[in-house]
Amino acid sequence: MPLLDHSLARLGWDGQFEESFVRMAVDGAKPARVVADYGAEYAVEDGDTSRRAIAKHCDPAVGDWVALRDSSIAGIMDRRSAFTRRVAGTESREQVLAANVDFAFVVAAATDVNVRRIERYLTIAWQSGATPVVLLTKSDVAADLEAVRWELESVAAGASVVVTSALTGDGVGDVASMLRPSRTGVLLGPSGAGKSTLINRLVGADIMRTREIHQQSGEGRHMTSHRQLVVLPGGGMIIDTPGLREAQLWSGEEALVGTFHDVEDLALRCRFSDCRHETEPGCAVQQAIASGVLDAARLASYRKLQRELRAIAARSDARLRQDERRKWKRIAMATRSRTRP
């Protein structure tokens, strides 16, 4: 498959994916990108045609490059980035929601700015390997836009903050310029944040369903029921996701460094290396809180996410140990059955 095939390049195909495809060596297969996840089946594009496909022995996500044989997905190419979360409920298992994303847009509506929720989404974005961007929507209805912008920048931790309005078009061009040809973005945020409306504005047509604006809140209801990749007129791509009821983190405590670099930097200045940032003398974190440099609620959020990630890691380790024990028990039983007279 030639690297410079425009039909594939417009979907993000490049030399890295081509090398992965060659290593897979799946007879009779050709590369394709997953553009929608319908649960039982997927929509894929191979550069020339779009079709429905099934996956029996792998679990692809929207944005994945896959080896397609007829209407079956035979394998997944190495991912450049992956937006993951822990599956909803109590099970300790990873769920990949989007793959091969360049920009992770953490979306917050001006009518509902929750900085603790943004910190959680930013942590997920940093875990993905994509570049996080905080995206404010519905700026046209903000009572005090500068105050909202300052609040977002205070928790953005170095990520860019882009202010948009799908109604007026403000900031939409900034988003489009990031998604230059072959670049992919994903929109992360709760229901009603205006993700589908923003995509409609980027495309210039009402391709994503949105419900009518609520008369009292002024907010639209999110209608996306499945993950979907949309190709934009400028050549970039964006993935819409249903509003996440449970934005559960997955493994990767190092992602907190990206989201809470201010807390991490302060911790390095503490007198004791094992400081718990509570009542220890010489605690730079508590001194920053006392002087108003650091918000106590931000430290509480950092600790909460840290505990959550450590608990997930512990459960995952326990599950791996249990799987290993089961494997060796099966091997032992098989060995005894072969040697039994």
The domains of the chain are located at 6-76, 82-240, 255-326
Q: Does domain 82-240 have CATH number 3.40.50.300?
A: yes
| pLDDT number for residue 225 | 54
Q: How many CB atoms lie within 10 A of CB 42?
A: 26
What's the whole-model pTM score?
0.77
| pLDDT number for residue 341 | 56
| pLDDT number for residue 254 | 66
| pLDDT number for residue 93 | 63
- Domain 255-326 is in which class? mainly alpha
| pLDDT number for residue 219 | 44
| pLDDT number for residue 258 | 75
Which tokens in the block code for residue 109?
């509506």
Distance (Å, rounded) from C-alpha 210 to C-alpha 77? 33
Residue type (1 letter), 318: A
Q: Point out the residues of the chain with pLDDT beneath 50.
A: 1-4, 212-224, 245-246
| pLDDT number for residue 90 | 52
Nearest in space to 208 (alpha carbons), one of 171, 241, 184, 163: 241
Distance (Å, rounded) from C-alpha 308 to C-alpha 306? 5
| pLDDT number for residue 6 | 64
Q: What is the CATH number of domain 6-76?
A: 2.30.30.140
Residue type (1 letter), 78: D
- The sign of the torsion formed by the CA atoms of 275, 277, 279, 285 equals positive
Q: Tell me if 6-76 shares its fold with 255-326.
A: no
User: What is the per-residue pLDDT across 71-89, written as a single tens digit (0 to 9) for each?
Assistant: 999 999 999 998 877 665 5
Burial class (CB in 10 A: 0-12, 13-18, 19+), 165: buried
